Structure 1
């Protein structure tokens, strides 16, 4: 059984600030890992969502996909297995379930449309061939419900909160 020091833990969050003009969306990924020489390390990656069409739900999934890809590109160089935690079930299940179905259907989803962010999913799939990845659904927390961008940024910068806790889920990893 591995302990949490053997893993890179990635938590993703995306938020669409739609109640004020101009409307915009952001994604963030918190990476947590342990290095013997220095102890616990963390990295925060953030970005702005470019395509603002579609529903808030679609927007949040796009944000999580962008966060996952950016964090995997960063994390694969650390050479440890990776645990990804997202509130979006479809993000958690795509590589393990949907990706091969889309491929077998000529890159079409159940609605017979090209899956959103397919180019990102291709890159994520390639990285998943190079490093062990565990996909996990995390519970929705305070950060996921913040409606003000300044509060969102402040919460991410705090070191002692639910987003940055070292142990992503209270469970054994095997």
Structure 2
């Protein structure tokens, strides 16, 4: 299996509001940046989308180290998701799991790979996290500008 590192981040200008996501894929010396945005979204949705898009870009099963500064994503996929599945996608507080469609998509794309999940502290000088943070923020700004221009 090929070994890949994926660094991800999401950003939102307002929550909800215009948002952006970014993923940096690295295999050896090769790197690829992915990014995009949505008009009316949340930070958690953008964090999840970044991981989904990064994993979806891999064309064959890989050994992957995923790095995210989102406790929501890391804890969700490593701790909470099995309980949600058992309880029919209902939380401990008896409410439907938020972003369930994205959790289903993440489970699907993650299942193709051998993944180790890593939480990194955001805005703490981690070079790749700072890089994807800037890309995601730039995308959120772009979406916000497009919304303003359309008004």
- TM-score bracket relative to the smaller structure: 0.7 to 0.9
**Correspondences of 1:37-76 after superposition (within 5 Å):** 40-52=29-41, 59-75=42-58
Structure 2 gaps, min length 5? 143-151
Query: Normalised by the size of structure 2, how large is the TM-score?
Result: 0.74
Structure 1's consecutive aligned runs of 4 or more residues displaced over 6 angstroms after TM superposition are none
1:65-98 CA distances to partner (integer Å, 9 max, x unpaired)? 01111111112x1442111111111201222211
Structure 1 gaps, min length 5? 1-5, 35-39, 53-58, 154-174
* Alignment check: 8 A CA contact 1:87 1:139 kept: yes
Corresponding residue of 2:4: 8
Query: Normalised by the size of structure 1, how large is the TM-score?
Result: 0.65
Corresponding residue of 2:92: 110
RMSD value, Cα: 2.5
Alpha-carbon distance in structure 1 between the residues aligned to 2:9 and 2:110: 20
The equivalent position to 2:13 in structure 1, one of 13, 17, 24, is: 17
In terms of fraction of residues, the more strand-rich structure is 2
Q: Which has the larger radius of gyration?
A: 1
Greater relative contact order (Cα < 8 A, sep 6+): 2
